[in-house]
Structure 1
Amino acid sequence: MNITRENVDALNAVVKVDIAKEDYNDKVEKILTDYRKTANIPGFRKGHVPMGMVKKQYGKAVLVDEVNKLLQDALNKYLTEEKLDVLGQPLPKTQDEIDWEADGFSFEFELGLAPEFDVNLKSKKAITHYNIIADDKMIDEQIERIQKQYGKLVSQDVVVKDSEITGVYTNEEKEIDNKVTLTLDKFKGKATAKQFIGAKVGDVVTLKTKGLYDDEHELMHALKLGHDDVHGLDIEVNFEITEINQRELADLDQELFDKLFGPKAVTSVTELKAKIKEDAEKQFLQQSDQKLLNDVTEYLVENTKFDLPAEFLTKWMQTAGEKDMDLDQAKDEYEKSEKSLRYQLIEGKLIEDNDIKVTMDDIKNHSREMIKAQMAQFGQMNPSDKELDDIAARVLSNQEEARRISEQLVSQKLLSVYKEKANIKVKELSYEKFVKEVYGDK
C-alpha cells in the first residue's frame, strides 16, 4: 500500500491511497474459505461447495468490504501519524466506476486543513470585568422580602397599597371562573391598582384583559386559560373580592435566623446583612464571569484573522448531517456555523498554548461539589463521601452530562487565562447599575 499527499494550497490537500492485491488478498481468501465451510447451497453438502461457486456468489461483496475497511484504517492511521489537523472528514473524490476485477485500486480524498494562526489576548481597548456589589438598598429590600415571606397574614377590612387580595376572576362567555391571590404591584398599569384601593370583601372590580399584566403568562395563570386563548385577548372580566389580608413582617430574631440558615449560623441583624451580601455577590460573580467570558469570546472571534477552506467545508456539509443538502442549503448552513467554527479553532489553540487539561478526577470532584451544593439546598448539609461518590457515578454514567461538565471546566480554566493575560479593567457597581449598563434594562 502506498499513500501520498499533494498540498493544493495551505488549506486544501488531496491524499491518494494505492492498494495492491497483496494488501487484501489473503484476508479475502480466508473469509471465502470460511464461507465455503458454512455455505448452504442446494445440491451440495455443507463444506463441499466448489470454491469457484463461492467466489462467484460472495467474492465481490467480500472484496469491496475488505478494501473499504483497509482504506479507512489506512487513511485514519496516515492522518494520525502525519499529525494532520483536518476540518470535517476526508471527502472521496468522484471517480469512474471501479473495476473490481483489477489487481489493485487507487482512491483519492480531499482534505480541508486547519489554518495556522496566533491568538492575541491583549486587545487595544480594555475589556470590562464587572465587580457587582450588593448595596444597602438591595440588602434592605431582600430583608423586607424575607420578613414578608415568613410574616403572618392579618385580615383587613379594605384594600390598601400592599394588601394581598384573594378573589375570583369570572367571564361567562369565555367560561372563566378562577380563584387567585394577588398583589397590586403585579398589574401593569397604576390605574388598575387604583380601582382596588378602598374596596371591601364582596366588591366586584371590572377589568380589561388587554394590558392587564406585563407578561401573558401572568394572564394565563390568573384566568386559567391556555397560551393561544390569552394571546391578544381583549375582553372584560369581573374580579369579586373574597378575602383581604396584609402581611405582618416577621421579627428579625433568632427564630427567623435559625429558619433561614440553621441553628446559630447567624445571630444578629448585622450578621444577617453580611450573609445576604456574601450570598448575593457569589451569584453576581457567576454572572460577571459569564459576561467576561462572552465579551472575550466575541473579541477573539472578531479580531483573530485567518482563512478557512470554505469551499471544502461547504461540500462536506452537504453529506455530514442526518439529511443530505443541496449546494445552496450547504452554503447557508456554512454561513450560519462559520462563527462557531472559528471560535472552536481559537479555543483549541488557546487550550494547546496554555496547556489546559481536564482530567477524570477534575470531572469527578466538580460533580461532587455540584451535588453537595444541591443537597445543601434541601437541608442535607453533611453527606458522606460514599453518598457523593455514588451519586456522582450515576451522573457521570450519562456521557452527555459528563461532556457538559468537562466543557464547563474548560470554560472555567479559559476564564482564568483571560483574567491573567487579557487586557481587562475592573469596574465596580451595584447590580441595578450593572443591569442598566449591560442590558439597557430597568
Structure 2
Amino acid sequence: MNITLNKQNGTEGILNVTIAESDYLTKVEEKMREYSRKANIKGFRQGKVPAGVIKKMFGKSILVEEVNHVVSHSVSDYIKDNKLRILGDPLPNAEKAREIDWDSQKDFEFEFQIGLVEDFSVDLSSKVKVSSHPIEVDQKVMDETLADIKNRFGKVSYPEVSEATDNLYGDIVAKGQEGTEQAKKGSFIAIAKAEKKEQKNLIGKKKDDVIEFDVEKLFSDAAEKARVLNISEEEAKDAKGTYTFTVSSVSRVEEAAIDQELFDKVFGKDLVKSEEEFVAKIKETIAENYARETAHLLDHEIQHYYVDHTKINMPDAFLKTWLKATSNGQVTDDVLAKEFNLYKESLKWDLIKNKISEDKDI
C-alpha cells in the first residue's frame, strides 16, 4: 500500500493510492472461505461448496468489496496520521475507477480529491471586544405579563353580542372569493388588538353576522395581521385588501383574581403565598428568560466576530463539487448560488471552535 499527497495549492490536493495484491489477498481469501461455509447453493451441501464455485459466483464482488474496504480505511488512517485538516470527504475519481479491470488486475490505483484547510490562528487575547446586551425587566413588561396571566387563567364565557374586550371566532375570506371554499380560513379576532378607530366595526356583533374590513386599516401590527389571516409574518407585511369575516361565536374572558388559586395555577401549589411573592416570582421568571436570550445573542455576536475576523483559506471549488456530488441531485448550481455563503460561514465557525478546542486542549 502506498499513499501520496499531491498538493495542487494550499486548499486542494490529490491523494494517489496504490494497492498491491498482498494488501487485500488475505481478506479476500477469508471472505471466500466464509461464503463457502455459509452459502446455500442448489446441488451442494451447505458448507461443502467448492472454492472454485464460490470464486466464479462471488469472486469479483468479494474482491471489489474488500479492496474498497482496505482503500477507505487506509485513506482515513493516512489523513489522521498526517493530521490533515480536510473539509467534506475525499472524492474518488470516478473516471479512473471505471477504467479498472476487476477480472485481470492484481494491483490497483485510486485517486481522491480532497479539500484542505491551511493552519490558522484564532485571537483569544484581551484585545477582542464583543458587546453583550442585557435586557431589563421594566414596568411595562411586568404590567403586560400580569395582564396576560390574568386573562389566560380567567373564566371564559360566550355572550351573544360582542363588546370591546371580546374575541370573535369565525371564517375569513378575501372579498370576491366568498364562493371559493378553499379560500375560506378559520380565524379569530381579538377586538382589543384592532386599531382603535376600527373597533366599532367589531362591537355589537353576534353569530352569523358578516363583517367587512380593510385588513391594513384594521391591524397595523404584522404579527396580528398574520394571525388573523393565517399567514406568515413575512407575508403579512405585504398583505392588503378587503376581507369578510363571518362570525361563528363570541368569547369573553373575565380576568382571574389575584389570589391563592391563581398563584397555585401559575407556579404550583403553595410555592407562592402572597401577591408580593407572586409579582417577584413573575419578575424572576422573566429575568431568567431574558438572561437566556442575552446569552443566546452574545453567542451570535461572538460567532459573527470570529467568522468575520479570522482568516481561513477555504477550498470553495472543492466544497461546491463535493456538495453537488453527495446530495443525490438536491444541491444544484442555483442552490449553491443562494446558500453556499451561509454554509461556508457555518463550516468556518465549526473550524474555529475545533481550533480553539485543540489549542486549549478542551
Instruction: Place the TM-score, normalised by the shorter chain, in its bin.
Output: 0.7 to 0.9
Q: Secondary structure at the match of 1:131?
A: coil
User: Are the aligned partners of 1:129 and 1:288 in contact in 2 as well (CA < 8 Å)?
Assistant: yes
| Distance in 2 of aligned mates of 1:104 and 1:16 | 13
Over the residues paired in the alignment, what is the CA RMSD in angstroms? 4.6
| Residue of structure 1 equivalent to 2:304 | 298
Is 1:341 matched with 2:351?
no
Superposed, 1:7-406 pairs within 5 Å as 7-32=7-32, 40=41, 47=48, 51=52, 55=55, 58-93=58-93, 94-95=95-96, 97-100=99-102, 101-121=104-124, 126-151=129-154, 161=164, 163-164=165-166, 174=179, 183-187=190-194, 189-195=195-201, 199=204, 206-208=211-213, 210-211=215-216, 212-213=218-219, 214-219=224-229, 234-237=242-245, 247=254, 249-323=255-329, 334-356=340-362
User: Are the aligned partners of 1:117 and 1:306 in contact in 2 as well (CA < 8 Å)?
Assistant: yes
Q: Secondary structure at the match of 1:13?
A: strand
Aligned partner of 2:147: which letter? E
| Structure 1 residue 65 displacement after superposition | 2.7
| Distance in 2 of aligned mates of 1:5 and 1:245 | 74
| Distance in 2 of aligned mates of 1:260 and 1:46 | 71
| Structure 1 residue 72 displacement after superposition | 1.6
User: Are the aligned partners of 2:209 and 2:247 in contact in 1 as well (CA < 8 Å)?
Assistant: yes
Q: Secondary structure at the match of 1:130?
A: coil
Long gaps (5+) in structure 2: none
| Distance in 1 of aligned mates of 2:45 and 2:135 | 85
| Distance in 2 of aligned mates of 1:331 and 1:158 | 56
Aligned partner of 1:86: which letter? I
Aligned partner of 1:75: which letter? V
User: Are the aligned partners of 1:207 and 1:239 in contact in 2 as well (CA < 8 Å)?
Assistant: no
Q: Deviations over 1:154-190 (max 9, x none)?
A: 99999764x3366877999549999998642232x32
| Structure 1 residue 26 displacement after superposition | 3.6
Q: Secondary structure at the match of 2:131?
A: strand
User: Are the aligned partners of 1:5 and 1:13 in contact in 2 as well (CA < 8 Å)?
Assistant: yes
Aligned partner of 1:322: which letter? N
| Distance in 2 of aligned mates of 1:124 and 1:296 | 14
Q: Deviations over 1:279-314 (max 9, x none)?
A: 110011111111111111111111111111222222
| Structure 1 residue 142 displacement after superposition | 2.7
| Distance in 2 of aligned mates of 1:128 and 1:215 | 34
Q: Secondary structure at the match of 2:66?
A: helix
CA distance 1:27–1:215, change in 2 (3 Å): same
Q: Deviations over 1:30-86 (max 9, x none)?
A: 5446666758588999958683x7655544333333222221222222222233222
CA distance 1:174–1:340, change in 2 (3 Å): same
Q: Secondary structure at the match of 2:132?
A: strand
| Structure 1 residue 272 displacement after superposition | 2.1
| Distance in 1 of aligned mates of 2:322 and 2:167 | 62
User: Are the aligned partners of 2:156 and 2:251 in contact in 1 as well (CA < 8 Å)?
Assistant: no
CA distance 1:296–1:123, change in 2 (3 Å): farther
| Distance in 2 of aligned mates of 1:22 and 1:83 | 27
| Distance in 1 of aligned mates of 2:284 and 2:130 | 25
Q: Secondary structure at the match of 1:127?
A: coil
Q: For this pair of structures, how many residues does the alignment match?
A: 342
| Bigger Cα displacement from structure 2, 203-212 vs 113-122 | 203-212
Q: Deviations over 1:386-431 (max 9, x none)?
A: xxxxxxxxxxxxxxxxxxxxxxxxxxxxxxxxxxxxxxxxxxxxxx
| Distance in 2 of aligned mates of 1:44 and 1:178 | 69
Q: Secondary structure at the match of 1:140?
A: helix
| Bigger Cα displacement from structure 2, 39-48 vs 292-301 | 39-48
| Distance in 2 of aligned mates of 1:143 and 1:336 | 40
CA distance 1:209–1:17, change in 2 (3 Å): same
CA distance 1:190–1:71, change in 2 (3 Å): same
CA distance 1:102–1:129, change in 2 (3 Å): same
| Distance in 2 of aligned mates of 1:250 and 1:43 | 83
